[in-house]
């Protein structure tokens, strides 16, 4: 059955920078999709950082130290019909100024990516790709973050873009502000095993940290004396090798990507914790602080 959709304005952004191939891939794919008569006459606009801001999360930078944000028009290869702008800002700030009207009407939807490298497990917290859509969600706009696991040459951008285009229409009528995090394995589209709901797992890229200045690897008393030094990082992969998911729940986002599935996870940003346990904790803290502050 052919389904038609209402007019939708879509903002595209990323954290790898406005000239990144992943942004070009998703912009070209969505431009072709938007021109499809069965989809309606949708509008696209690209507003993305001029420089790479990977790992920026939802940072906006030192906005209090600047009165303006520089921008310039750019051309996206394969999507020359789409208005595109690079801004001197991290992805969250680029999203905020675009949502607030700097580049036209408020978008109905934000697509961030395609990031080269999966954003799963603890990486979700630090991801500028995810941070961009979470910033939009704070302003009431739905969003889809799209990431593709790295490691295949040539990079199978089509696998990520085709999956994103297939997911996107479901967001049109979703409650605001719904945010979905899509992670796709680095496989040819024909080898993708499917798409499943993934849980945010405990995997992370930074496995350990230690001092390069102490015999035992810990600063200890040295930390109270040293004025400078180096901290070494043990870096690994957030996604285990393809097919090797030992130690991971099979429904974790990293495990699904490792097994050849696309992982789709609904996420929420900063919000008040209204659980009964947290409420009791806050009440105890307020009572204790009030007594302490009242003591002469």
Q: For residues 213 and 230, is the Cβ–Cβ distance under 8 A?
A: yes
Distance between CA atoms of 29 and 189, rounded to whole angstroms?
14
Domain ranges of the chain: 9-200+247-267, 206-235
Tokens encoding 255: 């495990």
**DSSP letter at 107?**
P
Under CATH, what is the fold of the domain 9-200+247-267? Stationary-phase Survival Protein Sure Homolog; Chain: A, (3.40.1210)
Helices (H) then strands (E): counts for the chain: 8, 11
In tens, the pLDDT along 70-94 reads 999 999 999 999 999 999 999 999 9
In tens, the pLDDT along 255-277 reads 999 999 999 999 988 888 899 99
Distance between CA atoms of 92 and 84, rounded to whole angstroms?
17
Distances from the Cα of 117 to the Cαs of 8, 16, 68, 165, 261, in angstroms? 28, 10, 32, 19, 15
Distance between CA atoms of 128 and 58, rounded to whole angstroms?
6
Is pLDDT larger for residue 276 or for residue 41?
276
Q: For residues 207 and 234, is the Cβ–Cβ distance under 8 A?
A: yes
Question: How long, in residues, is the chain?
Answer: 296
pTM of the model: 0.87
Distance between CA atoms of 180 and 178, rounded to whole angstroms?
7
Distance between CA atoms of 83 and 224, rounded to whole angstroms?
54
């Amino acid at each position: 059955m052919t389904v038609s959709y209402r007019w939708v304005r879509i903002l595209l952004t990323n954290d790898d920078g406005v000239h990144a191939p992943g942004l070009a891939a998703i912009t070209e794919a969505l431009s072709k999709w938007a021109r499809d008569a069965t989809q309606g006459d949708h509008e696209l606009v690209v507003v993305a950082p001029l420089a790479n801001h990977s790992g920026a999360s939802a940072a906006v930078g030192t906005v209090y130290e600047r009165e303006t944000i520089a921008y310039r028009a750019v051309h996206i290869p394969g999507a020359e019909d789409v208005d595109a702008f690079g801004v001197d800002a991290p992805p969250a700030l680029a999203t905020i100024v675009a949502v607030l009207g700097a580049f036209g009407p408020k978008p109905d939807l934000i697509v961030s990516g395609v990031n080269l490298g999966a954003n799963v497990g603890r990486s979700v917290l630090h991801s500028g790709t995810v941070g961009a859509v979470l910033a939009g969600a704070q302003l009431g706009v739905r969003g889809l973050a799209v990431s593709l696991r790295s490691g295949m040459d040539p990079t199978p951008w089509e696998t990520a873009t085709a999956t994103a285009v297939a997911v996107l229409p479901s967001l049109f009528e979703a409650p605001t502000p719904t945010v979905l995090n899509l992670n796709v394995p680095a496989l040819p589209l024909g080898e993708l095993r499917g798409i499943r709901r993934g849980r945010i797992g405990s995997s992370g890229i930074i496995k350990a940290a230690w001092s390069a200045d102490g015999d035992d690897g810990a600063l200890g008393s040295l930390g109270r004396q040293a004025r400078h030094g180096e901290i070494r990082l043990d870096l690994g992969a957030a996604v285990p090798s393809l097919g090797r998911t030992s130690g991971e729940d099979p429904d974790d986002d990293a495990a699904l990507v490792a097994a050849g599935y696309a992982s789709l996870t609904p996420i929420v940003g900063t919000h008040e914790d209204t659980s009964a346990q947290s409420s009791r904790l806050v009440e105890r803290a307020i009572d204790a602080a009030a007594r302490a502050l009242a003591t002469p």
